[in-house]
């Protein structure tokens, strides 16, 4: 166990666990304060002080629930997130549970708090696990999308189409495309790419659009991209050239996929596989990749 967690357990271990009677007493005082008809800020001072003290005691005596949840239920998350951060997120769930706990319903606080702790941890991970924040609703839909994709693949014995996924998820094709785009990882500008003549970072290959750029500069970039494509089989070279307009024809995603005889989703999967083969992590938004490459090969439109 990490030193920080051990210290925290020592601190919160000083507060005894609450009995069912104490949970009812403290919960009643908290609700009398927070649910007062005049509002928590305008209720009588005695009720406010009693409720505030009850909430503080209630939270402190249940903080070990947060540690227990993280250490037992978050082993996978701790591979990529700090245990202390996850515990802090779980503590926020404890606070929410204390404020919402209704002792008149007859269940123990630990049972009720579990769901608030889980929600707080999941929301914290959703918020801070990505370099670019996406809406909470999209996080929930992404999880459902993963589950539905597996279920449909098992049911039909093949990968589901975009129309099937959108229909099952209850969203439009445009929303589905946005969800898939949001699920892609973020590429680092410092990621090293082997271009055959030596290694360079992806950031060094990016160029801002410059109307004053010379034909020679564009030609050099075209040659660099073409040199990378020679590492690929002919079929994959064709996918890249048509998808990114390297043959001088700029197409929409759907048009490119149709010309390649596949769905847009299948084409996206092929491109991701090709990016990995070139040792280049895909960007979150596919149109950024397309924009970079098309910007670099604008000369092909005039030759």
What confidence score (pLDDT) does residue 240 get?
82
What confidence score (pLDDT) does residue 196 get?
56
By CB atoms closer than 10 A (0-12, 13-18, 19+), residue 195 is middle
Distance CA 257, CA 265 (A): 8
Backbone dihedral angles phi then psi of residue 193, each to the nearest 5 degrees: -120, 135
Q: Answer for the pair 179, 216: CB distance below 8 angstroms, yes or no.
A: no
Task: List residues bridging with 199 in a β-sheet.
Answer: 194
Q: 262-274 pLDDT, tens per residue?
A: 888 888 888 877 7
Q: What is the model's pTM? A: 0.52
Confidence of residue 186 (pLDDT cuts 50, 70, 90): low
Distance CA 10, CA 39 (A): 36
Distance CA 39, CA 41 (A): 6
Mean pLDDT taken over the chain? 77
What confidence score (pLDDT) does residue 209 get?
45
What confidence score (pLDDT) does residue 192 get?
61
Query: How would DSSP label each residue in 92-126?
Result: HHHHHHHHH--GGG---HHHHHHHHHHHHHHHHHH
Q: Enter the tokens of residue 301.
A: 């439109």
What confidence score (pLDDT) does residue 205 get?
56
Secondary-structure class of domain 136-183 per CATH: mainly alpha
Q: 21-45 pLDDT, tens per residue?
A: 999 999 999 999 999 999 999 999 9
Q: Enter the tokens of residue 258.
A: 């149709």
**CATH code for residues 3-128:** 1.20.120.1810
Domain residue extents for the chain: 3-128, 136-183, 192-301
Name the DSSP class of 132.
Answer: S
């Amino acid at each position: 166990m990490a030193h920080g967690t051990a210290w925290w357990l020592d601190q919160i271990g000083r507060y005894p666990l609450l009995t069912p009677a104490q949970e009812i007493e403290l919960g009643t005082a908290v609700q009398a304060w927070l649910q007062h008809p005049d509002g928590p800020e305008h209720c009588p001072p005695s009720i406010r002080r009693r409720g505030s003290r009850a909430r503080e005691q209630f939270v402190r005596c249940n903080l070990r629930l947060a540690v227990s949840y993280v250490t037992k239920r978050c082993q996978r998350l701790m591979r990529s997130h700090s245990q202390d951060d996850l515990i802090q997120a779980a503590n926020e769930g404890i606070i929410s549970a204390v404020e919402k706990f209704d002792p008149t319903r007859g269940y123990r606080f630990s049972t009720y708090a579990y769901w608030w702790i889980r929600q707080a941890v999941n929301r914290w991970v959703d918020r801070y696990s990505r370099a670019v924040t996406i809406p909470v609703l999209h996080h929930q839909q992404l999880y459902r999308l993963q589950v539905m994709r597996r279920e449909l693949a098992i049911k039909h014995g093949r990968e589901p189409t975009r129309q099937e996924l959108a229909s099952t998820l209850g969203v439009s094709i445009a929303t589905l495309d946005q969800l898939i785009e949001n699920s892609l990882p973020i590429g680092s500008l410092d990621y090293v790419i082997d271009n055959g003549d030596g290694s360079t970072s992806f950031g060094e290959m990016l160029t801002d659009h410059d109307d004053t750029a010379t034909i020679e500069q564009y030609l050099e970039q075209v040659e660099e991209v073409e040199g990378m494509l020679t590492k690929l089989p002919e079929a994959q070279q064709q996918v890249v050239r048509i998808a990114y307009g390297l043959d001088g024809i700029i197409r929409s995603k759907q048009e490119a996929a149709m010309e390649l005889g596949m769905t847009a989703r299948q084409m996206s999967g092929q491109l991701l596989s090709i990016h990995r083969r070139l040792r280049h992590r895909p960007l979150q938004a596919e149109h950024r990749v397309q924009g970079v490459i098309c910007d670099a090969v604008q000369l092909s439109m005039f030759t």
